[in-house]
Chain A
């Protein structure tokens, strides 16, 4: 079991550009959540996808969007990048319908915006 995988590991972009991050959930999981972890802070919930739809969303602007594919993998897109978007982006997967379901986190994608 490969666990949750994310790509790329690191990414450098300039202000105004667009970026796409990818996540493959743990085998058997159907729900994907995305978090932003700024330096020195805890992860902040961006949104969650289940059945290819955004189910819940945190306090992030519309520049942040996502997608979930039929194989449960997911993408996070960020448009019009700002310096403040520099962070570690974490993907977590879980199984819907399981109470108190544990999330499994990927290693993250480190995004640097110059």
Chain B
């Protein structure tokens, strides 16, 4: 069985500050990990994915995430927050290459203060 825990349902940062969104996973087999962003009234958009290649993954909009097997974590970071980053972020895990059957966390709402 696989599961995802996102620590902190709400995160608030100031514009220009570091963004850190936490994700821990549980998987009995090597996982494939994803981060998605969801803006209001829109579907999910893939930010980045880990597929057992490089442990540091760079995504769109300046986001990156590091896979740490020893900590079973895949935290999302961005050096400098922008107002347009305000959205809901979801971490997801898949146990095979079929991303269609992914298990999602409950999401973290990111607020960016001016």
Contact = CB atoms under 8 A, between A and B. Distances in A.
A48 B99 contact: no
Interface stretch (A36-44, A64-72, A77-85): A36-44
A45 B101 contact: yes
Interface residues of A, number: 26
Contacts, number: 67
B104 A44 contact: yes
Interface residues of B, number: 25
Interface string A87-114: 0001010100001111111111000000
Interface stretch (B11-19, B42-50, B67-75): B42-50
Given A44-B104, A94-B99, A103 B49 contact: no
**Chain B interface mostly helix, strand, loop or mixed?**
loop
Interface string B72-114: 0000000000000000001010000111111111110000000
B40 to A, nearest CB: 10
Contacts of B43: 4, 90, 92, 104-108
18 contacts: A33-B100, A33-B101, A40-B9, A42-B90, A42-B106, A42-B107, A56-B101, A90-B43, A94-B99, A100-B97, A101-B99, A102-B99, A103-B102, A105-B43, A105-B44, A106-B43, A107-B42, A107-B43
